[in-house]
Copies of this chain bind each other. A is one copy, B any other.
Amino acid sequence: MKRQINNKFPQELLNTITLGDTIESLKKLPDSSVDMLFADPPYNMQVEGTLKRTNGSNFKGVEGNDWDEFESLTSYKEFTRTWLKEAQRVLKKDKSSLWVIGSFQNIYVVGDVLQELGFWIINDIVWSKTNPTPNFLGTKFTNRQETLLWATPTKNTKYQFNYKTMKELNGGKQMTSVWDIPVSSGNERVKDDGGEKLHPTQKPDKLLYNVIISSTKINDLIVDPFMGSGTTGAIAKRVGRNFYGIERDEKYHKYAMIRVNKEIPQLDEFTQAKFDIKPPKVKFHDLVDSNYINQQEKLYFRTSDITATISNVKELYFDGDDYGISKLGGILSGSSVNANGWDVWFVIRDNKKVPISQIRDAYRINVLGFEG
């Protein structure tokens, strides 16, 4: 099932993974056509020799993977600049964002190039692992975290942020830039046909869930230029987003395809960002036009006896002048800034003072069909 969500992005690429080079494949995508791009590039770890566990066995990290080998810091930086430029080009100019994950070996290069190219950092997020690999030899602090940079492609580009959804997911408190998430393991970890872990650096589902749920909408298009084991595609599909992936390794590509195809979309209040759905805007004169408030009514300021009438232009008339409800509310409150006009003005209904926000609620439900 492919959902057409974008006029510019090639429909035949939606929800597929291209087997090929990251930069070449990115270059084929049209300008300004992607809602969000998530990238997990090689980290340029510069591992030397083998690390033994304290019991004498070998630790198997990324050692031996040629995709994490660069000639020098300069060549890594050039590689980073090249793919980030393409990312910047394909992201929508009006509203979109980029995520990049890395560790201390590479994230400072990535962050510097981002800023040099004019990306605008929104947050840096710390993935604090609850079960990091310990430092076997006691030579430094246990390297516990990886860092995600979240940025817009230009300073003026807007971005999606489902604030209330994340607050709800975080137990009612604002979600912060430090995320406690365990390393991917057990059943979540993709195995090859030999039962070995497919990819040395598979990211946890929960990490991608947070990234996608916080910064995209249903049916948005998410691009991952370093698809690896396919976590981005799998979670994107699971939560009702479109994706497009690029992976240059044939084995990873094959298993990622299988993994994504197995996924079933599961929509709920979080994936639909129900908590962030904003009620439609209503203007005061809409209520007058629709007769929810009568042109002849008096409006009362808070619980006081101060009243205003409705002017010919369907704003408030007070002491010889026309005002908007919020501006006059601010003035009467003795403040230099606007008050929330919907909360400070009351009308009489059934002999009781009722805030006009209640009238607006009724208008939204009955006239606009909005279900809070």
Contact = CB atoms under 8 A, between A and B. Distances in A.
Given A174-B138, A178-B144, A337-B56, A115 B123 contact: no
Nearest to A77: B112
A142 B178 CA distance: 9
- Of A109, A122, A145, A337, most buried by chain B (CB within 10 Å of CB) is A145
Interface of A: 52, 56, 69-70, 73, 104-105, 107-112, 114-116, 118, 121-126, 128, 132, 134-135, 138-145, 147, 149, 155, 161, 163-164, 166-167, 174-178, 214, 335-337
B69 A116 contact: no
A163 B177 contact: no
Contacts of A115: 73, 108-109
Contact of A128 (B126, B161, B214): B126
Given A135-B174, A174-B134, A69 B109 contact: no
B163 A138 contact: yes
Contact of A161 (B139, B142, B144): B139
Contacts of A163: 138-139
Copies in the complex: 2
Nearest to A143: B177
A176 B144 contact: yes
A295 B161 CA distance: 77
A255 to B, nearest CB: 32
Given A161-B140, A166-B141, A126 B73 contact: no
A214 to B, nearest CB: 8
A108 B112 contact: yes
Contacts of A155: 69
Given A104-B149, A108-B121, A124-B147, 18 more contacts: A52-B337, A56-B336, A70-B116, A73-B116, A104-B121, A107-B108, A108-B108, A109-B111, A111-B111, A123-B140, A123-B141, A126-B178, A128-B128, A138-B174, A139-B161, A141-B176, A144-B176, A145-B177
A104 to B, nearest CB: 4
Nearest to A70: B118
Contact of A145 (B107, B132, B178): B178
A117 B279 CA distance: 53
